Amino acid sequence: MDKFMQLAIEEAKEGLEEGGIPIGSVLVKDGEVVGKGHNMRVQENDPLAHAEIVCIRNAGRIGKYNDTVLYSTLMPCYLCAGAAVQFGIKEVIVGESENFEGASEFMKEHGINVTDLDLEECREMMAEFILEKPEIWNEDIGE
């Protein structure tokens, strides 16, 4: 498995261990990790603390983002896809989109190359969480 996706999965597991939603993200520039994070909505009582947003915040001001790759264990929602579009990220690689379709088409329409790895580990981790904590999941996706 891609080492950067493995780091995103580790972030997702860390979030789950903290009592949060198991979604992890990593931002890579020139083959190096410049930011990583996991969903912190529950832990920080912050509705905007999605994994990709936390990851980009943790990367800080890196100048241009058009040569970065954003990894996420789950297909980004419109909030996170909007951040990718806003900052000019050109490639997003996701672990899965079966549990949440997300905003793949939106990103593609804005010139982002989206790759869905359809990883069993990511699918199972999210499916189990959704089954165990549907109220938290539904809040996360705005339902």
| Residues with catalytic function | 52
Residue 25: closest CA among 48, 1, 58: 58
Residue 24: closest CA among 132, 125, 139, 142: 125
Say if residues 141 and 100 touch (Cβ distance below 8 Å).
Answer: yes
- The torsion region of residue 95 among left (phi > 0), alpha (psi -120 to 50) and beta comes to alpha
